[in-house]
Amino acid sequence: MRKLFFILFFAILADSVYGREFSAYSSRWQTRPLVGVNIPITKLFKGAETDYLLSYDDRSFYWQILSVSYFFNERWGLEFNFQAGTSSRIRQRANNFVTNMQLQYSDNHYVRAGTGADFDEFHSMWGDFHRGYLGIIYRFERNRFFIYPKFSIGLIEFSTDWGSANLMQKNSNFEHLVSYSRGIRRNGAFIIYSSNLILAPSVSFGYKLSKRFFLNADVKFSYFRPNFTYEKTTTNLFTQQSTVEHFRYRKDIFTLSLGVGLIFVIN
């Protein structure tokens, strides 16, 4: 990381020394690495045990894996972004689900709980959930300063995994199985991803450090509406009788995203 920082520093310095002329609207291709924070305006989580089965968090950090802009004329262009997101709370999902089952049922039962929501292994590139955007960008520039209003449409995707608890009633032989799933199967397997359309007006603005390197800040408002349901099925393993309860995730989710990074002018 330190080597990468020094390489970037000297590249910017060299470009500033040997490319002193600044001109507006001259670049056509740009790429923009960025890191930032997602701040919830409205929240997805319900306070239910099924919250612990999602690889999503209302408040999270993100970074752009890939971001490319192409200006097809002086003012207008297209932009594609692919972002990964994470939160330290996602690392604790499986343990929190097991703890929740113990708190709910351990007074009268011996509890053995488990879940597929084991998100302990952090992927430094891919994160825990993803957002992809394709949008239109407008360019306003002065020699040193720029502002790019944008509007994008895309997808947000995260895991919606399973959970279960085996309950052995104390001082008796009665046993129950409590299971949580989305209840939708495709090719014999449960669907474990939620993909949702997302709309996002945003603006990027900043300062040109050199002809090829810009300091960039990004402000984005995004909206999506998930629509999925968890089924909680409680089965008496002796009589095989079951009861079903539903947890619906269906609401308007608004998020404010704040990011900082650099813009690299390709040509």
In angstroms, the CA 204 to CA 152 distance is: 13
Q: Give the number of C-alpha atoms closer than 13 A to the C-alpha of residue 36, restricted to the C-beta side.
A: 22
pLDDT of residue 16: 47
Q: Output 176 or 9, whichever has higher pLDDT.
A: 176
Q: Give the number of C-alpha atoms closer than 13 A to the C-alpha of residue 193, restricted to the C-beta side.
A: 10
Copy the structure tokens of residue 44: 């997805």
> Region 247-262: what's the mean pLDDT?
96
Place 174 in a pLDDT band, splitting at 50, 70 and 90: confident
pLDDT of residue 1: 44
* Each residue's pLDDT tens digit, 180-226: 988 665 555 555 788 999 999 999 999 999 888 999 999 999 999 99
* Each residue's pLDDT tens digit, 222-235: 999 999 999 999 99
Place 12 in a pLDDT band, splitting at 50, 70 and 90: very low
* Each residue's pLDDT tens digit, 97-127: 999 999 999 999 999 999 888 776 666 677 8
pLDDT of residue 11: 44
How many CB atoms neighbour CB 188 within 10 A? 5
Residue 25 has pLDDT above 90, yes or no: no
Residue 42 has pLDDT above 70, yes or no: yes
pLDDT of residue 112: 94
Q: How do beta strands 129-138 and 145-159 pair?
A: antiparallel
239 Cβ neighbours under 8 A, 6+ residues apart? none
Question: What's the whole-number average pLDDT of the chain?
Answer: 87
Residue 80 has pLDDT above 70, yes or no: yes
In angstroms, the CA 105 to CA 102 distance is: 5
| Positive/negative CA dihedral, 22, 23, 29, 33 | positive
pLDDT of residue 4: 39
What domains does the chain contain, in order, with CATH numbers? Answer: 2-110+122-158+192-226+245-265 (2.40.160.20)
Distances (CA, A) of 20 to 50, 142, 266: 57, 15, 17
With CA atoms as reference, report the closest residue to 178 among 229, 248, 231.
231
What is the model's pTM?
A: 0.85
> Region 141-169: what's the mean pLDDT?
93
Of the ranges 4-13, 15-24, 175-184, which is most confident? 175-184
pLDDT of residue 95: 92
Residue 28 sits at the vertex; the CA angle it makes with 22 and 130, to the nearest 5 degrees, is 115
Residue 52 has pLDDT above 80, yes or no: yes
How many CB atoms neighbour CB 72 within 10 A? 9
